[in-house]
Structure 1
């Protein structure tokens, strides 16, 4: 069976020159100060909450006006000086809106929160209607990024520079009513394989043939879908009694909760970044008489392809794992560099290549997925209504030996690679409450994914990708509704890039 998560056409990304010389920087798992803390100081949290969307917009426009005025008065030769003055004024406006005692506290911040301040201010400053690659000047100070940006500007990302421009609603045809809106030219969406597209069409247009409950998942339903190209009109078709046979043929899916819509976004992010580890997912409504009413009430639900090749443990209490793994074991195997410095077949390596954990950490940080590496919510401050709080899981954080990982899954045919499931994450997680435990122990990150984050093209690429899912696009409000969501993920990406620079972490080419 063709691997559904390996695209046949990958984006031609510029390569970074990774610094492979010198000793590797090791961070002990127990040394929490060695990574940027998952929570900032209390006064930093208060400061972040003050910056409402309206304030950000007004301050950004003020900076733009200052810069334009400075250019008219001083000319092109003094643009750099004017930009610096405008940036200073933006900082002063933020500072001037705070109480006096709050301003005094800010001066006592540690290095990590100061970096968070700078990143958030820079993100606000570049969110202008005329944003393009050259506007990201704060990254050009990094020699690695400067070289890469030159390559992006010279050759044009993925063939032409228009893919990195700020897109508007007018760039997307409003009269295309197809469920899956892909182009015959694979270069328009090179991050999708043909297998991806076929599975998206199955999920979006397949007719429900049968249904089955998923043990221990009361709000999730497994369904067998008849592929659209196999539909026969005329005489009624006999539906199978169970999805089992259809599932073995790859014709099954999980209908998930309406609140899990972010999992569809996660699938597109996974493909655009070149990670290729999540399962195809779409958003759709159902009208089948086979389904219970709550699944046919008209509210669109995320539908995720069911992979029959995923390996599950026989333990019914731990069937959401391919291998049992504790947090302590996980941190130990990260130090082994399995597949390069240690044998994959060794018991400690659990058969998974080291680079897989790097992909997982980056992906989970951008989406803030905790129900995999941090199911106990140890790395951030959860809401009191969270399951990890209500089920008293967070109380176990005091004893790391009790912490277990979940949803660590591989395929039977390729056990050295992870499969990412349940990727709904946290679209509304604030920047001052990010879970840095997700990247603890990670000293390298995938070069291709980091290239996309640094390129300035993430928004345009995601918009192009998400447009292919017609129902998701409409339900989330098109460009206007999706842009704030993408900007949230972009900000997390900038914070992660700052973490990489601060720790002098390595970039690793894909295998």
Structure 2
């Protein structure tokens, strides 16, 4: 059996090798010339095969290299800091290319009324010199190099007796803060132009507030109102014109108001106002001053002298109304269709549509300092100002509660200006202040269309991205998204309120 298997294996081997043996035998019997020709043909075929394989491997390697380059470079553009884009960047009008940062520099401070902790060694008293302590002056000496403190009397202002000025003249041997040291603006616009909701004047004001050299800082007191910290920036106005202007104005030239770091919602409010198309707030940016608040980002708001037509001593052009008078004016629809109200109607100078715009804006940001200063429309906390000052107890007699911060320009009494926009992002949907919407029967169609378009987040991201200091102070994209999440949830509540209460959405061009 074993012998048969062995013989069978040998026969199969010979059968398989027979063609090769026959071919080699024929090759040996061929003449030498034919043998050389056959060998040459085989070599040519082999050489062609080797060359083709080598070329294919090089082509595959180039393709892999191109893919790796594309993988590492896609989505990254070499952006310049000027308004114009390089030729290699694919541009489209009104587009802002956002570069996201994965690392949050600081946690988002989403509460607008957090009070900074006072240091035990440095106590701040509410006096004329409260803005700059001795420690701040020492810091200023290091930053500015030379300081000239001038305590001006009220004689230069004539009739203004209750206004005190403390001026700080900064003569620059070097720039004041880090932002002005560099030539790179903190207002970053990478597309060919700014978003359409920001006007040319808005962009100029933002660049001035963020990048101008600080020439002088004043702390201005006027009556019982909180003091204003105003800085004067470098401008083309001559020194003589500045002095003449300063006789009737707190600012000679071009200025900005510096607020506390906890009032950062002023910047968000400005961009929300422009995105919604209301255009009722003053331009605001975030800026860091090395001589204030330990270099923390502060909201800086454009100074508008038209809000004080009779000077700071007389205060701003404020409408005096109680809650009951306000509700009565809403029912009478004052100044609608430019019809003058009767003298005994109790109407104010404000157009009827302005109340609807302000109520909508205040509801989204939960600003209660205008229409609900006593916190009657929600559950305040013990640390809220209305509770600390005892205003919350006035809600028993709501009709006699005075409205506050209803401001208009001296030459334009029909339209409001939204100032002191201290909003709250930490109120849940079950504790929103619906008192802000009480008596409102119409809302502007333009604003509601933006809220319904589901493009509010995209527009706010593009707008807020322009202010690099504010963007980074809120934690970059992650922190800004959290703020927009709050606004979007309130938008849903507002749209539900509109449908449930039959609020009309109409065109408001006045």
Q: Residue in 2 aligned with 1:304? A: 301
The Cα of 1:241 is off from its aligned counterpart by: 11
For the 8 Å contact 2:249–2:311, the answer to whether it is kept is no
Q: Residue in 2 aligned with 1:73? A: none
Q: Residue in 1 aligned with 2:496? A: 498
Structure 2: segments with no counterpart, 5+ residues: 1-91, 103-182
How many residues were matched structurally?
Answer: 335
Match of 1:410 among 408, 411, 424: 408
Query: Equivalent residues in 2 for 1:41-440 (5 A)?
Result: 169=100, 178-182=185-189, 185-186=192-193, 188-210=194-216, 211-215=218-222, 216=224, 220-227=228-235, 230=236, 251-287=254-290, 293=291, 295=292, 297-311=294-308, 319=315, 322-340=318-336, 343-344=339-340, 346-347=342-343, 348-440=346-438
The CA distance in 1 between the partners of 2:229 and 2:246, in whole Å, is 11
Q: Residue in 1 aligned with 2:452? A: 454
1:403 and 1:312, CA in 2 relative to 1: closer, same or farther beyond 3 A?
A: farther
Larger radius of gyration: 2
1:177 and 1:458, CA in 2 relative to 1: closer, same or farther beyond 3 A?
A: farther
Q: Which region of structure 1 is more displaced relative to structure 2, 303-312 or 386-395? A: 303-312
Q: Residue in 1 aligned with 2:484? A: 486
The CA distance in 2 between the partners of 1:239 and 1:422, in whole Å, is 27
For the 8 Å contact 1:366–1:493, the answer to whether it is kept is yes
The Cα of 1:223 is off from its aligned counterpart by: 2.0
The Cα of 1:478 is off from its aligned counterpart by: 1.6
1:161 and 1:200, CA in 2 relative to 1: closer, same or farther beyond 3 A?
A: closer
The Cα of 1:213 is off from its aligned counterpart by: 2.2
The CA distance in 2 between the partners of 1:373 and 1:362, in whole Å, is 12
The Cα of 1:472 is off from its aligned counterpart by: 0.4
The CA distance in 2 between the partners of 1:223 and 1:429, in whole Å, is 33
For the 8 Å contact 1:250–1:308, the answer to whether it is kept is no
For the 8 Å contact 1:344–1:351, the answer to whether it is kept is no
The Cα of 1:335 is off from its aligned counterpart by: 0.6
CA RMSD of superposed structures (Å): 3.4
The CA distance in 2 between the partners of 1:485 and 1:319, in whole Å, is 33
For the 8 Å contact 1:320–1:408, the answer to whether it is kept is no
The CA distance in 1 between the partners of 2:325 and 2:226, in whole Å, is 31
For the 8 Å contact 1:327–1:403, the answer to whether it is kept is yes
For the 8 Å contact 1:203–1:304, the answer to whether it is kept is yes
1:333 and 1:238, CA in 2 relative to 1: closer, same or farther beyond 3 A?
A: closer
Q: SS in structure 2 opposite 1:224?
A: strand
Deviations 1:328-379 (A, max 9, x none): 0000000111222683454522121111001000000000000000001000
The CA distance in 2 between the partners of 1:386 and 1:466, in whole Å, is 28
The CA distance in 2 between the partners of 1:249 and 1:231, in whole Å, is 9
The CA distance in 2 between the partners of 1:374 and 1:312, in whole Å, is 27
Deviations 1:371-415 (A, max 9, x none): 000001000111111111111111111012320101101112211
The CA distance in 1 between the partners of 2:185 and 2:482, in whole Å, is 25
Q: Residue in 2 aligned with 1:464? A: 462
Deviations 1:123-170 (A, max 9, x none): xxxxxxxxxxxxxxxxxxxxxxxxxxxxxxxxxxxx99999x9x8828
1:354 and 1:189, CA in 2 relative to 1: closer, same or farther beyond 3 A?
A: same
Q: Residue in 1 aligned with 2:472? A: 474
Deviations 1:410-446 (A, max 9, x none): 1122110000000121121111110000000000101
Q: SS in structure 1 opposite 2:230?
A: strand
Q: SS in structure 1 opposite 2:319?
A: coil
1:434 and 1:160, CA in 2 relative to 1: closer, same or farther beyond 3 A?
A: farther
The Cα of 1:246 is off from its aligned counterpart by: 7.1
The CA distance in 2 between the partners of 1:194 and 1:162, in whole Å, is 16
The CA distance in 1 between the partners of 2:271 and 2:227, in whole Å, is 24
Relative contact order higher in (CA < 8 Å, ≥ 6 apart): 1
Q: SS in structure 2 opposite 1:399?
A: helix
The CA distance in 1 between the partners of 2:221 and 2:197, in whole Å, is 31
The CA distance in 2 between the partners of 1:337 and 1:456, in whole Å, is 31
For the 8 Å contact 1:336–1:342, the answer to whether it is kept is no
